[in-house]
Amino acid sequence: KDFRTNNRPTWCPGCGDYAVLSSLQKACADLGLAPEEVVLVSGIGCSGKIAQHFGSYGFHSLHGRALPTATGVKLANQDLTVIAAGGDGDGYGIGMGHFVHAVRRNIDLTYIVMDNHIYGLTTGQLSPTSERGFKSKTSPKGSAEEPVKAVETAIVNGASFVAQAFSGDVKQMTRLFEEAIRHRGFALVNCFSPCVTFNKVNTYDWFKEKLVNVDEREDYDPTDREGALRLLHETGGVVTGVLYKQERPVFHEEMIGASEVATVKVDLQLKEEDTQALLQSYR
Ligand code: SF4
């Protein structure tokens, strides 16, 4: 039940993605999951490397395509715990179409977005969640665009679990991952995961100063959809905790029927010569 590996991440020292990786490893271990019961599908970007460092089955997929890949995995074998992960550029830029449709279908998986408000791997360009006025290589005079409201988009399109976490609070992040994985249906955890190398505005200190934690508010009701949207508007979205949740049927049960769920299990006990022949066919 150990999700650690011997691979050393190549993230910059201090990158928020380290906290996401260790929180997810701890959450899966605390839930008593076995590595062979979990599949982590990632997109492209610094955050996409997480699948290489997480000790379960993994699939480092195409740019913006973590969600359709993860959807396919879940529909093929509903016994698996499926987690998709990527960055704000990957998920809310090129992957935005997939995001909205996975949300409205209520695919039973957890989607972790490492949101640093910038493209890190390509050395610092404007991303879909960069703030208006943000200066970068591609916006030297400041961004003229409104940031995408991804979390609000998830809520209004019928998401059944929406939370936000911060890499500066590993304890809360771990608890939110556990709750998201236990949730039946599409669970989004948008993680504020600072890029210490290229984003000198949205730093750990910037988040610590501004963040509101709704988990500490006894009067907050996460089943109140209008209340969640109001809170996001009032805080400018800089808020952590479980923002919204509801119970509704999951996609594979709606489509197939709960009693007739077809699980596809493929026997992958390939012989060495079969493997070599398969590899040869791609050369
Ligand atoms: Fe993390 Fe930014 Fe470095 Fe990428 S460039 S590893 S996002 S700190």
Instruction: Please give the CATH number for the structural domain made up of 17-281.
Output: 3.40.50.970
Pocket mutation for ligand 1, best pick of 115, 191, 197, 203 (most atoms within 8 Å of C-beta): 197
Specify the ligand 1 atom closest to the Cα of 114: 7
Nearest residue (CA) to ligand 1, atom 3: 12
Decide: 197 in ligand 1 pocket, CB within 6 A: yes
* pLDDT number for residue 259: 45
* pLDDT number for residue 281: 83
Model ipTM value: 0.99
Q: Are 164 and 242 in contact (CB under 8 A)?
A: no
| Chain position carrying tokens 């987690």 | 83
Q: Whole-angstrom Cα distance, residue 71 to residue 98? A: 10
SS3 assignment, position 82: strand
Specify the ligand 1 atom closest to the Cα of 87: 7
* pLDDT number for residue 266: 53
29 CA distance to ligand 1 middle (Å): 26
Question: Is the pTM higher than 0.90?
Answer: yes
Measuring CA to CA, which residue among 181, 215, 161 is closest to residue 30? Answer: 181
Decide: 46 in ligand 1 pocket, CB within 6 A: yes
Q: Whole-angstrom Cα distance, residue 56 to residue 158? A: 29
Q: Are 42 and 59 in contact (CB under 8 A)?
A: yes
Q: What is the mean pLDDT of each run of 10 residues along the chain (283 residues)?
A: 91 98 98 97 97 96 97 93 98 98 97 98 97 96 97 97 98 98 98 98 98 96 97 97 97 70 57 79 79
